[in-house]
Amino acid sequence: MTVEASVTIQGETFSRVALTDSAVELLDKLWLIHGPLMFHQSGGCCDGSSPMCYPAGEFLTAEADVLLGVLDISSGAGGPGAVAQPGTADDGPRLIEFWMSREQFEYWRHTHLTVDVVPGRGSGFSVEAPEGKRFLIRSRLMGQPEG
């Protein structure tokens, strides 16, 4: 099961980004530690090829970036209908924007991206780094079935 992002690119009717259950579980934990989150996929080498997770607004986006979708983890690991603790970073909707550099989007425009989690150390700039896990992208051509 995956969480699909909302459609944000004008004229499109399909999701471009999804999260695995493992990614949602880790994002739930990170949200409680850091508050609202965002992803940025730059397409550089090494760690730049991995999706980077930041506190929302910490990575400044501009016209050189494309918003691929908004992911809603509100009913994540807590389960549907989970009650948030008042006064915590968890009281309200948990929406995560997924951005990509426009240049990278030109290369990946025909792919659907699924954010997953694997053991290992993420980039020092991505908030999952201290957790002993890292986010990675699993991609498939648009129109191809999952699997």
HSE-CB of 145 using CA atoms within 13 angstroms: 1
Tokens read off for 50: 């991995």
Q: What is the pTM of this model?
A: 0.84
Give the integer Cα–Cα distance in Å for 106 and 116. 22
| Domain containing residue 107 | 2-141
CB atoms within 10 A of CB 26: 24
Query: Given this model, what pLDDT does residue 82 score?
Result: 39
Number of domains in the chain: 1
Look at residue 77 and tell me whether its pLDDT is greater than 60.
no
In a domain? residue 36: yes
H/E stretch holding 108: helix 102-108
- Kindly state whether residue 146 falls inside one of the protein's structural domains: no
The overall average pLDDT reported for the chain is: 84
147, part of any domain:
no
Burial code (b: 16+ CB inside 10 Å, e: under 16) for 66-78 equals: bbbbebbbbebee
Residue 13, both tokens: 């009717």
Q: Is the pLDDT of residue 58 over 50?
A: yes
The predicted pLDDT at position 120 comes to 86
CB-based contact 17:69 (threshold 8 Å): yes
Percent of the chain with pLDDT over 90: 63
pLDDT for 54: 95
- 12 lies in some domain: yes
User: At residue 48, does pLDDT exceed 60?
Assistant: no
At residue 102's C-alpha, the angle toward residues 58 and 29, to 5°, is 35
60: number of Cβ within 10 Å: 8
**3-class DSSP assignment, residue 33:** helix
Percent above pLDDT 70 for the chain: 79
